[in-house]
Structure 1
């Protein structure tokens, strides 16, 4: 083979491999590969969808001016991930309850019960809903007004109106949100909340706001965002309209009788005497009290876990968010605030060898992961996908069962390895911690692409050498 042929082959190889080599080197300068941007045609579909839904009956009360001013310019496709993953239905009950009903949330609820006693008493008198039940909804929904959500609900609802499941439902909520602003009830800047469009201190959906929000503080505005009194009274009004029965509790934790054919069915309510005749007692062994005429059996984790008899008021909690785990969390938190007890465990423990962890423990795990170089975002005590991935990576690197689970086992392992020692050192600024974590994370990513670039370079060089010797050996 002639030198001219070798050069020609080399040029072909350069054409094939050089652009890829440059692309890899370019990625190194950024430290990471950017996330894929939403496709342009998706945005075009989004705007076309908004044009179409504006003409439907759902938006007949919305003026063209209102729609044009507040229609989002871009969709938020991240809400589609949340639509397909909801912790109420995907987490084990012991994980769900450990995060929602911990000593931290109970203690705050007890303090607020005393601090807001006059307002809560007035609400209880007017709506017939127990103080601690209202407090529990507030605590579960927004951690007593501390976590209202960071999503622009106009963007979330409009995106969900055009993509994913239940588009018709979200279109009604989108039009309701626009109507709230058009009526002057709230400013657009107040419309920040959850991925699904719930907003305010007790997380009302826009259509629920239009039907049930009350101006309890008398300032002429139904302000569920900035007024505690309005938010709590509106919550009581919601429960009342859902069939809440005054002077009744939600139900009881019970002890399952031996040989009873137990089946969990919240809707299959039977008279109190049926449960008494079948040997049901409270979990502490006391007889079932009077007070609730019909009850149903709830067994959220099977026959080996805690069991409950639940009444009508439990159903009203369920109507707030259609999840039995959610309703049980409200019920349990309400009881603990009323008793002023920080013992958050049920009489019968959850059937697991890896119990859930509190928000404080979750924050400890997140800080430990950051200190180990994992980028999990902010330390917030909420175990999201980034934290799960980081735990799974850590478990893989340390030859552990890589399930990504943030439970008591991994917490104890971190403690044993000394990863939680930061609790005894001066606190670092969270921004500094995350910046350091991102630097370490980018360093890990960069090293991967350096290796890939070197492999590509060696491949290019190797092919050239191979062609050279192949040409030299030929006559």
Structure 2
């Protein structure tokens, strides 16, 4: 469930909750909250673009016109993302939507509903730019956390926890999911319902089902959005959200809504948009079904000993907390690990210069909601702060500069030339790049922490 463009060290998209499968959930117009942070709005380009119709569906008051499609090829290089392919698919949009009627019928959507909710749809080609955006600069993890975990949001979060205490009480009893985690997701996904995106979900998913490189995935989302309307859980004016179709304060994709949404207050509708009981219970149900461990935390900030082998900072290295303790890994406040038999992996997002974290099962559950480690860390930390916990103890290396996309590409290319990286350089730092960088660092006697810095790039250049 969040926006594209995340961090250089992560090299992946930060997605909003159930929109993780969409490979981004971007923003509406104005941009979704997280998009406004990360600048998920590539330049429109210099060439004039053909006019495309506005997103269909009820327009929110004060909504500004969306910027047009750039008219350029997508950055992914996918054949369906060339300007010509996009124009051809857009020209066939009405026929594409009409051809989905048999599939809708198999889902027990009536012909009347299908005609009513698809009437007036038009391709929103701006989504092609958002799908393939490749920003030059990203934010460092410390900047990301500073923006998302701040005093104003914490104050509002505590108000939300007090205002809806009965709903949180009932949900926590029923599911065992920590109320502070739910409140944290609500705050980070939509800034407590103030920034949810305003594109009509049916129009967005119809566009993406007929145009571009993810048509099979979005066809399911489009048909599921029609199911939601046909069933009467939500009205068209409520079904507005991010450019990829995530909607509501905790950003459900239509298929995630179908799977996880619950009618907590028994009114016959699953309303995750403006019914707090359904919203809280549905978000908790999502986490519960993804494996949430009641009564357990998400992880711990830790300090590594001098000379620590950072090759151990890997998701595949799952050790018990007792084993990490034997290796000299400690909590900064000196407190013991409460459940020494629990297994965790070590995350060092800023390498040897920043804090480390031992990540438990519930951290992995948060990552199922959104598969970005930085996002899950922000959720866990924000929840702890709402609970009354302190800020992280150890400082971040704020002197380090985040590499630009061209520099990230160069770093991957240089690692490949030296035989460390076997992937295709793309400027996105995933696990393969971090492993390659760790191996290079080990080869030169540097801490093998996988943290891409300007100094590491200079060393790869051989200067």
TM-score interval (norm. to shorter): 0.5 to 0.7
- Shift in Å, 1:260: 2.0
Name the CA distance, whole Å, in 2 between partners of 1:86 and 1:94. 21
**Which residue matches 2:337?**
288
Q: 1:110 to 1:181 in 2, by over 3 A?
A: same
Partner Cα distance (2:335, 2:173) in 1: 31
Quick one: which of 66, 87, 92 aligns to 2:140? 92
Match 2:228 to one of 176, 180, 205: 180
Larger of the two Rg values belongs to structure: 1
After superposition, the CA RMSD in angstroms is 2.7
Contact 1:248 1:291 in 2 (8 A): no
Structure 2 residue 398 is the aligned partner of structure 1 residue 352: yes
Which residue matches 1:302? 351
2:90 to 43, 52, 64: 43
1:162-217 C-alpha deviation (Å, 9 max, x unpaired):
22232211111111100011112111111101111111121111111112111112
Distance (whole Å) between structure 1 residues aligned to residue 397 and residue 186 of structure 2: 29
The answer as to 2:248 corresponding to 1:217 is: no
Query: Mean alpha-carbon deviation: is it higher for 182-191 or for 76-85?
Result: 76-85
TM-score, structure 1 normalization: 0.62
* Structure 1 position 113 matched with structure 2 position 161: yes
Under a length normalisation based on structure 2, what TM-score does the superposition of the two structures give? Answer: 0.64
Q: Does 1:76 align with 2:90?
A: no
Give the 3 Å change call, closer, same or farther, for CA 58–208 of structure 1 in structure 2: farther
CA shift for structure 1 position 111: 2.2
CA distance in 2, matches of 1:203, 1:69: 25
Structure 1: distance between partners of 2:227 and 2:239? 12
Between structures 1 and 2, the one with greater helix share: 1
Partner residue in 2 for 1:153: 201
- Distance apart, 1:290 and its partner CA: 2.2
Equivalent in 328, 344, 350 of residue 279 of structure 1: 328
The 1:298–1:33 alpha-carbon spacing in structure 2 relative to 1, beyond 3 Å, is closer
Q: Give, in whole Å, the separation in 1 of the partners of 2:249 and 2:111.
A: 30
Gaps of 5+ in 1: 1-31, 357-475
What is the Cα deviation at residue 59 of structure 1?
6.2
Q: Distance in 2 between matches of 1:317 and 1:112?
A: 21
Of 108, 111, 117, 1:64 maps to: 111
Q: CA deviation at 1:62?
A: 3.4
Q: 1:90, CA displacement in angstroms? A: 4.9
Q: Check conservation: 1:158, 1:170, Cα contact below 8 A.
A: yes
Q: Secondary structure at the match of 1:154?
A: helix
Separation of aligned partners in 2, 1:78 and 1:351: 37
Instruction: Give 1:243 shift.
Output: 0.4
Q: 1:198 to 1:291 in 2, by over 3 A?
A: farther
Partner SS for 1:303: helix
Contact 2:104 2:223 in 1 (8 A): no
Q: Distance in 1 between matches of 2:371 and 2:241?
A: 19
Q: Deviations over 1:25-59 (max 9, x none)?
A: xxxxxxx9976524875531222332334445896
Whole-Å separation in 1 of the counterparts to 2:348 and 2:238: 39
Q: Secondary structure at the match of 1:281?
A: coil
Residue 93 of structure 1 deviates from its aligned partner by 1.7
Number of aligned residues: 321
Give the structure 2 partner of residue 235 of structure 1.
283
Cα deviation for residue 220 of structure 1 reads 1.9
* Aligned equivalents of 1:241, 1:86: Cα separation in 2: 33
Q: Mean alpha-carbon deviation: is it higher for 325-334 or for 252-261? A: 252-261
Matches of 2:128 and 2:141 in 1, distance apart?
A: 24
The residue number in structure 2 matching 1:454 is none
Superposition deviation, residue 355 in structure 1:
9.2
What are the residue-to-residue correspondences of 1:309-324 with 2, within 5 Å?
Answer: 309-324=358-373
CA displacement at 1:114 relative to structure 2 = 2.4
Structure 1 residues 340 and 280, CA gap change in structure 2 (3 angstroms): closer
Alignment of 1:340-419 (within 5 A): 343=391, 346-353=392-399
Match of 1:265 in 2: 314
Deviation, structure 1 residue 261: 1.6
Going from structure 1 to structure 2, the CA distance change for 1:355 and 1:131 (only over 3 Å counts) comes to farther
Q: Distance in 2 between matches of 1:219 and 1:156?
A: 29
Distance 1:86 1:58, change over 3 A: farther
How far is 1:115 from its partner? 2.6
